[in-house]
Amino acid sequence: MSGELSPIDKAKFVAAKQATEFVESGMKVGLGTGSTAEWLVQCLGEMVREEGLKIKGVPTSKRTALLAKKVGIDIMTLDEAKWLDLTFDGADEFDENLNLIKGGGGAHLHEKIVATASDRVLVIADASKKVDTLGAFPLPVEVVPFGLSVTQGLIAETLTGMDVLGRDVVLRMKGDQPFVTEEGNFILDLHLKRIGNPRQLSFVINQIPGVVENGLFIDICDVVIVGHGDGRVTTRDITNNAANVIRFDILDDDNIFVDIAD
């Protein structure tokens, strides 16, 4: 489908298009969750249909699995794949060291498992996700429902000793009921404003009984591909500190997937 893109959607689209350059036939590829990752799935599907690309995708959520099937990507489970060549995902925030906050869509547990079972992890994002210091986006923490109030209290108490600016711990809701993850758990969103030591915070939070996993991705991302509304794409590779900039010229009749919504 073609049409006029907003600057933010154009940024996501060009980042996704550049990310496809890392994919080769025969690869097993992790497919993340969220609006930016969905642009990538659409682009890969187009390559499968029109260029004969042969890949196996491992989705991190039911939503991604449905989209992958719809666009023609063969999917498999992580247990079937055992190990992946690449994983593509989005991010809610990333810093200069390519540390991330993820989990705005509630899939960070699956996303972290898939990412750590991959040779390389590539994050695609629009420029607004780049921050000097993580923490403006609430940090998601997946917790088991049993003893929820106790776990919530322990997290709040732990935050008093952490290098953060805010300490509000809020149960994520969906309508009038708690948001439930695909593993049947709840999510507590930590409104921290600034995280001074993400590595320490991630370690300490995960030691609390009742916590399943937090949304800090430390030393996991290898490459970040950042799209801009003017068609520029900036790629940063953490392994060799290489960076480059290219530009996409999107024509009115380009095949653009404007039916993807946030």
**Is position 168 annotated in a ligand binding site?**
no
Q: Helices in the chain by DSSP H: which ranges?
A: 7-19, 35-51, 62-71, 78-81, 108-115, 148-159, 198-205
Closest CA to 111 of 60, 77, 66: 60
**Is position 129 annotated in a ligand binding site?**
yes
Is the distance from CB of 217 to CB of 177 less than 8 angstroms?
no
Is 51 one of the annotated active-site residues of the chain?
A: no
**Is position 35 annotated in a ligand binding site?**
yes
**Is position 161 annotated in a ligand binding site?**
no
**Is position 163 annotated in a ligand binding site?**
no
**Is position 89 annotated in a ligand binding site?**
yes
Of the candidates 111, 142, 182, 213, the residue annotated as catalytic is 111
How far is the C-alpha of 196 from the C-alpha of 31, rounded, in Å? 30
Phi, psi of 50 (to 5 degrees): -100, -20
**Is position 91 annotated in a ligand binding site?**
yes
**Is position 34 annotated in a ligand binding site?**
yes
Is the distance from CB of 231 to CB of 12 less than 8 angstroms?
no
Helices 148-159, 198-205: axis angle to 10 degrees equals 150
* Burial class of residue 100 in the structure, from the number of CB atoms within 10 Å of its CB (0-12 exposed, 13-18 middle, 19+ buried): buried
**Is position 235 annotated in a ligand binding site?**
no
Residues making up the annotated binding site for substrate are 33-36, 89-92, 102-105, 129
Residues making up the annotated binding site are 33-36, 89-92, 102-105, 129
Catalytic annotation, residues: 111
